[in-house]
Structure 1
Amino acid sequence: MTALGFLYPGHFAEDDYPRMEQLLGSDIRLPLVHTDVGEDAQHEDALRELGSPRRLATGVEELRLSGAEAVVWACTSGSFAYGWEGAHEQVRTLARTAGLPASSTSFAFVHAVREIGARRIAIAATYPDDVAALFAAFLKDAGLEPVAVHAAGVTTAAEAAAWDGDRILALARAGDHLDADALLVPNTALHTVSHLKTLESTLGKPVLTANQVSVWESLRLADRRVNAPQLGTLFTREPVVQV
């Protein structure tokens, strides 16, 4: 049995995790601990407070008691808002506090893009323009090439959590670009797991979403590989050999 832990801000789309647990198989558990959101707002100061060491540390002991072998801070904006170097320090601090391998959703996107062999990417974000630009800058610092950035202007996680599959598909279509090898849909407040196959079949390319890549990242930390076609291309492709 492999247990992989998640620190998840608030109560928005956490039901994606038991859904993924069912799709991954009986020997994988995905224990999730909620962290306090504070101000539910998509602006830089609130996002940096959301991902502060103090807030993340509160859930670590519960995850350790769950038997988790690794921990992922399951939040995109609350990690990339720190910038490339700051997000690394955030993860290092989390790993020291937990005594476990650690990562975040922002780094999960980077590693997942590399896993599928993509470089040019499009971004379909619920965020306001300035927050979407921070995510694009983070990806550029990782050596990726955002060819299009679409921002829907949503200012709270609660609003994003209320979106249904039709709105998520419309967001994906609005954010896609012909030159993109893959489409990235950040925000762990979005319920995307049930829609992954529809998104990929409609766009005809890999689609990476926040909760999906967070779970894939936890498996990567534990050196586990699981074939789960319902979770999209990321969970079916052989790893790309970097040269």
Structure 2
Amino acid sequence: MRRIALIDPPWFDDELNRLGRGYYEDAGFAVVFSAPCALLSGQHLIRPGDLHDWVSGHTPHDAEAVVVGGNGFRVVGTVERLEQTLRRPVLTANQTLLWAALRATGLLPRTSKDSASCSVRPPLNQHRISRKRTDT
């Protein structure tokens, strides 16, 4: 998957969102949508249902995956429901950081046939995002 929608927390300003978009574009992804979600700013103010509605209403049909930025953005309560609604993977910063840390320690293999949203296992192969090679 190369086409992603980047959703940032409401406390990210336009500059931070632009930097995040650039990070993914530099890594070879096509960012088809990028914005901080327009919800109340504050971790304790974000409600899973409101976040679900905002993300599902703003994710373009041509996005192959949704990437939720911001380690302080608590989205765990809505990831599985978003994946069911959007019928595409939803990856969070915390989730992918955990997978990377587990791989670095050897506790998680490079690939897995198992899957569980927001678990310690990476998504199924059809959910794997491929980066464009820039060294060729």
With the shorter chain as reference, the TM-score category is 0.7 to 0.9
Aligned to 1:229: 116
Q: State yes or no: 1:195 paired with 2:78.
A: yes
Asked whether the 8 Å contact 2:115–2:124 carries over to 1, the reply is: no
Match of 2:22 among 113, 116, 137: 137
CA contact (8 A) 1:128 1:154 kept: no
Aligned pairs (5 A) from 1:83-102 = none
SS of equivalent residue, structure 1 residue 231: coil
Report the residue type matching 1:171 in the other structure: W
Residues 214 and 138 (structure 1), Cα distance of their counterparts in 2 relative to 1, 3 Å cut? same
Distance in 1 (CA, whole Å) between partners of 2:100 and 2:43 is 23
> In the alignment, which residue of structure 1 is the partner of 2:55?
172
Q: Percent identity?
A: 24
Contact between 2:4 and 2:32, CA under 8 Å: does it hold in 1? Answer: yes
- Aligned counterpart, 1:105: none
> Does the alignment pair 1:148 with 2:33?
yes
Q: Is the 8 A contact 1:192 1:211 kept in 2?
A: no
More helix per residue: 1
Indicate the structure whose relative CO is greater, using CA pairs within 8 Å and at least 6 residues apart.
2
Task: Name the larger-Rg structure.
Answer: 1
**Of the candidates 179, 193, 205, which is equivalent to residue 88 of structure 2?**
205
Structure 1: which 5+ runs fail to align? 1-117
Distance 2:58 2:15 in 1: 16
Root-mean-square deviation (CA), in Å?
2.8
Residue type of the alignment partner of 2:59:
D
Deviation at 1:230, TM superposition (A): 3.8
Alpha-carbon distance change, 131 to 237 in structure 1, aligned in 2, over 3 angstroms = same
